[in-house]
Structure 1
Amino acid sequence: MRQVLSALCLIAWLPISAGAATLPEIHVSSASFANGTAQPRSVAFAACGGGDISPQLSWRGAPAGTKSFALTEFDTDARGGAGFWHWLVVNIPPSVTSLNAGAALPAGAVAGLTDHGLPGYQGPCPPVGDPPHHYIFTISALNVASLPSITQDSTGAEVQMALRGHVIAQGTYTGTYVR
């Protein structure tokens, strides 16, 4: 069942607005790697020889009325294009506009289950020989302070469904990874 929900998330990964045709854009940046370039080995999943250290991320430009943020990381190339969730975090306070590399989540934030079946960050681990995979980090500004239905047992599909109707601005940042 979780695999079916996860596969449906490729469609659900598309921007999720609170009714607006076009969302205001949040500017996302990282000191760990440049947008559209290879991520360092330190962020890779430990089982694939990496340090499993989440990258540094910063964001700015959230509109007035932002009550919390959500952060997701989705590999669009995994599973033959069905995708793979690597990081799902909701209830990030509106005062938080960056996360240090390997940082603990801010108080109140909740990390859902990745497609590895674990809560928290699990880095890239594409199959050996695959072309570079693309990892899309999405920061969403929300019009609610929390998504109480989301727990550390929530899947990517459940997080995406909970976000629907609450996203008031969004920005993305892409990293690649190959083994």
Structure 2
Amino acid sequence: MSDGLIVAVCGDSGAGKSTTTGLLREEGFAPYSLSAFLRQEAEAAIDTPTREQVQSHGKAQQEAHGNHYYAEVLISQTDLMAQRRAVIDGLRNLDELEHLRATAERHGLTLVLLALVLDTESRFQRVQGRARAGDPGELERFRTDDLRANGGDGNFQNNAALIDAADLRIENTGDIETLRAKLRAALLQVGVVAEGQGSA
């Protein structure tokens, strides 16, 4: 492995990306959110945007600036590439992945893509539990948003393609301690020993 590691987290809405990012932060990874830039832009344009409106805003920005737009914003506006261990939440497409991976390599970093997967109904229940403004309140609307996020509106966002391209995959079907254990096992696959389990 190279001198540093970036873990990029992907998955459908409610799969546990933010929770996983938090767990990796506890293991010493500096957290970054690519999707936070998108949501901040959408909120500046639309008060309390729905998930569909956030997606539409992202599509418009990517049409104007390229599919890798938010990856470039993240790189240019943060110290991500100066970190030796970092985690990124919120990738939207393969162009973002390729841009981040190529930039990481130029900085002596390895980027691995970690996919979180969970069935639709379970994800919907989790989304209802988090009560985030703009999340759909009906399962069918949630399914419609999922289709759009999985390439139904072009490759501006394609979670399905990212999940297929993942280097590591976690079935996030249990509680947080189960997820923590699976995450630590995934880190071992790329040669990282989690804090509290010995030195890396």
Q: Which has the higher helix share?
A: 2
Q: Given the two structures, how large is their TM-score scaled by the length of structure 1?
A: 0.31
Query: Which structure would you say has the larger Rg?
Result: 2
Structure with more strand by fraction: 1
